[in-house]
Amino acid sequence: MRLTVIGTGYLGATHAACMAELGHEVLGVDVDPDKVAALQAGRVPFHEPGLPELIAKHTASGRLRFTTDHAAAGAFGEVHFVCVGTPQRKGSEGADLTYVDAAFAAIAGHAAEGVLLVGKSTVPVGTAERLAAAHERVEVAWNPEFLREGFAVEDTLRPDRLVFGVRSSHAETILRQVYAPVLDAGTPLVTADFPTAELVKTAANAFLATKISFINAMAEICEAAGGDVGVLAEAIGYDDRIGKKFLRAGVGFGGGCLPKDIRAFAHRAGELGVSLDFLREVDAINMRRRDKVVEMARELCGGSVLGARIAVLGAAFKPDSDDIRDSPALNVAARLRLDGADVTVYDPEALDNARKAFPLLGYALSAEEALQGADLVLHLTEWPQFREIDPERAARLVARARIVDGRGALDGERWAAAGWHFRALGRPALAGERPGQGLWGGKRTT
């Protein structure tokens, strides 16, 4: 089939490339000519494993093309997918639908009568009904995305489910044709009305955020009572009604989806007369974990970070991504910089984005460079490379062997055995001893 994808950011570029991989002819549309030129040349302006190869493969074959011309897209497409962003409105918790409204208006004005326009963006419930009423000459459907950054290609080609929000059997038939290879592989399909399809996405994000904040609230209790949230999470995770996923306490979630989506969900619920105030506490718990890491840094530096050299391992909001939107790592780093610390950040993929957004922070080209002469190390993005750091070698690089594991991913006993004072959220401190230095509070080694 001939498909268009309106919006070629993270979601749109991934969807376009994967639809080409499924055998469709795809035309990606964006208002940014620089982005279009880069993608047409086979270059992806963000980090997503496996996506550059797909873009290059299908632009080279001609199956995937990109343009700024909505009229050409309207004439080309048998089905149009809208994949634009829905940021948080300025001065409000609600979602800003400016890009969604503009995309639907632009393509509906050029599309053939009766053609299918499919929204994939995360929107407040009621959006699809409103758009369908505003664009009666075309048919609207909603097909929410469930991508994880770092696994977006896999999640598109082999999703754990598909959701079609449709009002006619014709729309469902068309979407079944689009996703035929995925459905033939046994992927479950849920067909729903517009409100339910929209709510599936927001409810899924709200549940994941709630589970993360739940275990972080348990970390707060463990800190107050002397417990170990890692052991607690292991024990409750054996209950298959709960499961082990998303039960690792740490500095909390960030990115361009969960934080703004739970705020928009609570806001929209309030507009409908329903209280989802518990989501505001989910948000508050998440932000408190960042506060806790800053507090731990001050404590480990003797009450003040003024003049302290702090190495921050991580800038992206999660591993396998260069996305720094609402990054807990950079939020903590910037706050410590404002408190007078000399902060050096290293991340395998997100340094360019971090430099643009936080130019006053220091940056290193390797973990070893970041660690050199540090008074304190903060592990804040769970890259596999950071778990593989040799704590004995690292201890020879730093000025003081003190580390806060803000992701609960490091082997604390191994680090303590190498002479580090090891702290993690919701867990007892582990104090090691370095030859000639005494316990962690010893003098600088450089």
Supply the residues annotated as catalytic. 257
**Alpha-carbon distance 51 to 42, whole Å?**
10
Residues belonging to the binding site for substrate are 146-149, 201, 246-250, 254, 318
Count of CB atoms situated within 10 Å of the CB of 359: 8
In sequence order, the 6+-apart residues with CB closer than 8 A to the CB of 316 are 322, 323, 324, 327, 329, 347, 349, 350, 381
**Alpha-carbon distance 6 to 118, whole Å?**
10
Longest dimension (CA), the chain: 80
Buried b (16+ CB within 10 A) or exposed e, 49-77: ebbeebbbebbeeebbbbbeebeebbebb
**Alpha-carbon distance 365 to 347, whole Å?**
8
Residues belonging to the binding site for NAD(+) are 30, 35, 86, 122, 149, 260, 325
CA distances from 362 to 124, 147, 308, 327, 342 (A): 39, 32, 13, 16, 8
Closest CA to 261 of 210, 311, 303, 205: 205
CA-based R_g, the chain, Å: 24
Q: Are 319 and 248 in contact (CB under 8 A)?
A: no
Give the containing element (helix H, strand E) for 26: strand 25-29
- CA 385, 388, 391, 395 dihedral sign is negative
